[in-house]
Amino acid sequence: MKAQTAQRRMIPMLDLRLEYERMKEDVDRAITRCLDHQRWIFGPEVRELEEKAGAYLGAAHCVGTSSGTEALVLALRALAIKSGREYFDREDMIITTPFTFTATGDAILRSGATPVFIDIDPATYNLDAAVLKRYLESGAGRPVGIVPVHLYGCPCDMKEIMELARRFKLFVVEDVAQAFGGVFGGRRLGSIGDAGAFSFFPSKNLGGFGDGGMLATGDAGLDSIVRMLIKHGGRDKYNVEHVGYNARLDTLQAAVVLSKLGHIEELNAGRRAVAGIYSEALSGMQEIVLPAAPSEGLHVYNQYTIRVRGVLPDGRRTGLRNGARDDLQDHLRQRGVDTMVYYPVPLHKMKVFHGRCAGPYSLGESEQAVKEVLSLPIEPFMPEEDVRHVAGLVREFFAS
């Protein structure tokens, strides 16, 4: 009976109640403060969050936004406006990865430009800097910028990316939706490029109680433009200067995120601790590939993503009916463990990008990754016994 009970233990992908219980006093106090002052639009918490996040990130300017997606759009639109145009045009090429959430490529389309998809490094799942270099040195197209994505919380090779950007006179907008507090080269992610876009979606390692985001930049000009764009496009909302958005960060969301910001080091350390337990418990398995530690920098493990090989190094197949990854996911689901596939379809295969993107080289690594990646449950306060239980079920699947 004990074995059956353990088998049916329900382990969600993310249990936000654990985090809330740890920070309940701070969060409740922040919400009560908002209830007392009733300044729901541009309340004092918005500016306080911007200032404290900027100090933490090492960014001169931070602007709260309605979501991480809008932060990306605002960054790209501001860069277009700074160059003297309202939008980019289809001849302007912005380089990114196809192995990411839709928002990354969608933001490029919304800025007027054409996304150019460059394949990933199969070890980190991030933009492959060597392939990026080959594309830029080929002289193809009219590239204007790069949007590297710090996927799953793992920092991109920002040294190589920034060197290429400077050499070819390109802007860099970091997509830091999954990596608040991550580090590369001694600097916080989001403070290295021309701008960084953050998401405060509830499942993120720094999350609110709904949608929210932030843009960070060291450029006062971009900051000024973005502050107009979030308010319909002008300093005077009754006489606007640009095509803008209603993209403000709500006071309530700012208050919740602000209450958690002081705990961000604890939150990220907790995620790294859980990741360490997984990696120790799953080490030595030929059937899976564990997340790679960045060569330089600090991973925040917004997701703990393993890769389930369809073929072992010795040539033996592991796949059953739907392939090894899907069968493992079914195995875990039947035993009460939630998992997720981030992401099942690469951007260049999505309908919205058909005829509206470029892919100068093979995207085979991205196309293979979508068939093999599986994210296991992780959150900062996940009990060690739950982590080891999940790892044990993974081992059980391949042993059967």
Rg (CA), the chain: 22
**Whether CATH 3.40.50.300 fits 264-399:** no
Q: Is the pLDDT of residue 1 over 70?
A: no
Distance CA 400, CA 398 (A): 6
**Would you kindly state where each structural domain of the chain is located, as residue ranges?**
19-261, 264-399
Please report the pLDDT score of residue 43 as a whole number: 98
Please choose, from the candidates 2, 33, 73, 68, the residue with its C-alpha nearest in 3D space to the C-alpha of residue 259.
33
Phi and psi at residue 120, to the nearest 5°: -95, 160
pLDDT of residue 314: 60
**Which amino acid would we find at residue 243?**
V
Res 6 pLDDT > 50? no
Which CA distances in Å does 136 have to 145, 154, 155? 11, 24, 21
Q: Dihedral through CA 229, CA 61, CA 104, CA 153, nearest 10?
A: -160
Q: What would the DSSP string read from start to end of 318-349?
A: ---SS-HHHHHHHHHHHTTB--B-S-SS-GGG
For the chain, the maximum distance between any two Cα atoms, rounded to a whole number of angstroms, is 71
d(CA 287, CA 316): 10
Write down the pLDDT at residue 311. 63
Q: Are 174 and 148 in contact (CB under 8 A)?
A: yes
What pLDDT does residue 315 have? 58
pLDDT at residue number 310 = 72
**pLDDT higher for 312 or 240?**
240
Mean pLDDT score, 59-77 = 98
Does the pLDDT at position 48 exceed 50? Answer: yes
Same fold? 19-261, 264-399: no
- pLDDT score of 19: 95
Q: Average of pLDDT values for 143-154?
A: 98
What pLDDT does 122 receive? 96
Predicted confidence band of residue 294 (pLDDT cuts 50, 70, 90): confident
pLDDT single digits (tens) 368-392? 999 999 999 999 999 999 999 999 9
CATH number of 19-261: 3.40.640.10
Per-residue pLDDT at 4 exceeds 60: no
Average pLDDT over residues 79-101: 98
Average pLDDT, the chain: 95
* Amino acid at position 317, single letter: R
Residue by residue, DSSP assigns 223-277 as HHHHHHHTBTTSSSTTS-SS---B-BPPHHHHHHHHHHHTTHHHHHHHHHHHHHH
- Residue-wise pLDDT for 13-24, tens only, equals 999 999 999 999
Report pLDDT digits (tens) over 343-361.
999 999 999 999 999 999 9
- The residue-averaged pLDDT of 126-138 equals 98
Q: How far is CA 207 from the centre of its chain?
A: 12
What is the mean predicted confidence (pLDDT) over 286-307? 94
pLDDT at residue number 3: 41
Which DSSP letter does residue 83 get? T
Q: What is residue 318's predicted lDDT score, i.e. its pLDDT?
A: 53
Cα(130)–Cα(37) distance, rounded to whole angstroms? 53
pLDDT surpassing 60 at residue 5: no
Instruction: Provide the pLDDT confidence category of residue 244 given band limits of 50, 70 and 90.
Output: very high
CB burial readout 199-216, b (16+ within 10 A) else e: bbbbebbbbbbebbbbbb
- Mean pLDDT across the stretch 203-232? 98
Q: Give residue 237's pLDDT.
A: 87
DSSP state string for 296-321: SSB---SSEEEEE-SB-TTS-B---S
**Of 154-158, 222-226, 290-294, 386-390, minimum mean pLDDT range:** 290-294
Label residue 312 by pLDDT band (50, 70, 90): low
Task: Report residue 51 CA to chain centroid gap.
Answer: 22
Neighbours of 149 (CB within 10 A): 26
